[in-house]
Structure 1
Amino acid sequence: MDSRTKIIFNPCENKENKYIAILINGLEKHGYDVNPLDDFLSSSKHYQSIKLLHLNWFENLDDSSAKRMWTSYFRKLVVLAAIRFGKKKLVWTMHNRLSHEKKSGKLSRTLTKKIVAQADAVVIHSKVSEEILRSQYPHLKAKIVHIPHPDFIEVYGPLIPESKERKKPRLQLLFIGAIKPYKNIELLLQMAKRFESETHITIAGNPNSDSYKGELEELAKGISNLTLELKFIPDTELPSLIHQSDLLILPYSLESSLNSGTVVLGFSYGRTVICPRIGTIDDLDGGENVFDYSYSDEVDHMEALETQIQKAIQIHQTNPDALIEKGHRMRDLVQERNNKQKVTDCLLTLYESVLN
């Protein structure tokens, strides 16, 4: 008879990155029987056997149509009711300030309030998250536990050794990740035009819709120093793609973005980033090894991003190796602070405290 503690970790997989796989593998190695949320109400016996549910991005709703959005919302209310009725333990990870989806934002915030009110523990990946939580939910009763985002070192394959032959006259900038409007891809197209002779920008990732893909392809016409790879990038290609760049450029929205697995991915494979000072950047505090910035509005964002690119260009023209050295120092930092084994140990300790 299987005596392992049965839990639900949702989602059980994520094709966009290995974050979920790292955590689930760690939990299973330490005796947890991890199950998908879809099976939660499959039978009375299974429902009764589940001791704890850990939800990630549960507040996000399918906003492809009004009908799907409301269906998604009510299904999640049923899940929360079943958790409460069965007196199951509930852990929720706060990944973002707000939902990235504009159409379902209000409904998503309502759902988030219900999750937070019911949670036994809230996992945060950056310290600023606690300030946000306590300001939004002054009567918060859940245990708040800061557990860093796990590193991706060696997860997608080994680090490719640096070579003098990789140097190119233009600064090689890379955006990688899911292509969504809140990631300000249009800003990158403008930056490519602005720094046509000094940079080459590659944008690689899967667009969230065919219409958005078409918009970007239309906007990109005539930009000679731009490469669009608007498709799903296989895991095996990520180390090489990152290695070919000098640094990653990630102009995220400060309104909704809080943590970034892509930032951690870049650091894990020896590349630093140009990125707003979101929670992930703030916690690591890489100093001059990171090109971070803040902004107050769209115009300010463009100016701040332009300043950081200019700074990177100047370093690249003076000493190209300096950018790579910054990236490797950030790799050392995430290996220490975001060590995936330490992250798993922290999660195990949290589960034990909640279950006992």
Structure 2
Amino acid sequence: MIRFTIFPRLHILPGQKANPYIHDFVTSLEREGVSKVVNPPHKNPLLSLLPPKNWGDVFIFNWFESIPDFKYGPLQSVIAICFVLLLKSNRRKIIWILHNKKPHAGGHTRLKRFLTRFMAKKSDLILTHATEGVEMIRTHYPYAADKIHFLHHPTKNRLPESSNEMNPEYDLLIWGSISRYKGVLEYLTYLRENPQDLKICIIGKCSPASLADEIRCIAPKNVTFICESPSFEELARYIRHSAFVLAPYCPESVLSSGILMDSLSFGARVIGPDVGSFKDYACEKRLKVYTFHHYDEIGQIVAIHKTDPVSQESYRKFLEENDWKHFGDRIIELTKSIH
């Protein structure tokens, strides 16, 4: 039985919505009964790891380089560094999952760079969900090149019974938690300066909340903005009534994208920046993923590919090959290869 400790494992309060990645990760590791996650959810996911009772044989760190953005981030970063050194002295194995080129939030730049370099050096295994992540490690941290592995971002099969409508209500759907790094304001600014005959729907809660007012002020008349977080059932309906899901992300920090994978799980056509997973899946013939370098290419993609047929069978095969069960199996297999 392999014992895992996963960071961060937050305690989610009733009524709260959170990124399901960690919950699904834990479930995938415990599904077959050959491994167990020993640390329970906690309101402080770092400090909760300090008691040895929460120590597994293998520690999996997600978003380690973003610890400076936590409350008392610089102090927690020092604790995290010392803790990793303690784990290494106790011969625990460390897996670092590289999700982004750099943390999305600004500030503490030097500290975040140090933490990235630190984990590249101290980890026994590095995993990333985009081939660009592999290139990043090999280029900037060549001493860690033999530790980096690409694994598809795991996904689920939520395909509808029939294909999306051929005459959708919206050309573009932008959905999910809306943060500044996601480029929504930049794209709306572009649309105001370059009016286009596109019907666009934006649905999602904003962080910070003031971002919603900025969107309302700048959004052209052809943009519908719904400031709420849809359920997956509601999201399925919005995707079914949209020709494309658009991720207008600023490309500086993005590698993999949960929005991309969740959209594909519904059988969506997706448009995103020519980086990371978007670039990878634009080359995947079974999927309909299109990439842009500049915003003016988005309208062209819609015009050319709006009626491209989506093969549900091709999507289904891709989704099932890269579901959470297979992901958990691959993590366990790679863990066993650590010497």
Which range, TM-score by smaller chain? 0.7 to 0.9
Structure 2's unaligned 5+ residue stretches are none
Q: Does the 8 A contact of 2:63 with 2:98 survive in 1? A: yes
- TM-score scaled by length of structure 1: 0.80
Is 1:307 the counterpart of 2:297? The answer is: yes
Query: Aligned partners of 1:145 and 1:172: how far apart in 2?
Result: 36
What's the CA shift for 1:207? 1.8
Among 246, 259, 265, the alignment partner of 1:268 is: 265
The SS at the match of 1:73 is helix
* Matching residue's letter, 2:2: T
Query: Aligned partners of 2:18 and 2:313: how far apart in 1?
Result: 26
Query: Aligned partners of 2:19 and 2:69: how far apart in 1?
Result: 22
Same amino acid, percent of matched pairs: 24
Higher helix residue share = 1
Q: How far does the alpha carbon of each residue in 1:57-115 deviate from its partner, in whole angstroms, 9 at most, with x for none?
A: 11113548xx7332332232233233223221100011111111111232211111111
The SS at the match of 2:64 is coil
Q: How far does the alpha carbon of each residue in 1:104-153 deviate from its partner, in whole angstroms, 9 at most, with x for none?
A: 23221111111111100001212222221011112227622221111221
Q: Does the 8 A contact of 1:272 with 1:290 survive in 2? A: yes
Q: Which segment is superposed worse, 15-24 or 240-249?
A: 15-24
1:54 match:
60
The SS at the match of 1:246 is strand
Among 237, 242, 248, the alignment partner of 2:239 is: 242
Query: Aligned partners of 1:197 and 1:139: how far apart in 2?
Result: 48
1:150 match:
154
Query: Aligned partners of 1:194 and 1:337: how far apart in 2?
Result: 43
- TM-score scaled by length of structure 2: 0.84
Distance 1:111 1:252, change over 3 A: same
Distance 1:150 1:111, change over 3 A: same
Over the residues paired in the alignment, what is the CA RMSD in angstroms?
2.8
* Matching residue's letter, 1:256: S
Structure 1's unaligned 5+ residue stretches are 295-300, 317-321
2:230 match:
233
2:107 match:
103
* Matching residue's letter, 2:31: K
Query: Aligned partners of 1:311 and 1:245: how far apart in 2?
Result: 14
* Matching residue's letter, 1:24: V
Query: Aligned partners of 1:17 and 1:292: how far apart in 2?
Result: 25
What's the CA shift for 1:270? 1.0
2:50 match:
41
Q: Does the 8 A contact of 2:7 with 2:62 survive in 1? A: yes
Among 2, 5, 8, the alignment partner of 2:2 is: 5
Is 1:82 the counterpart of 2:115? The answer is: no
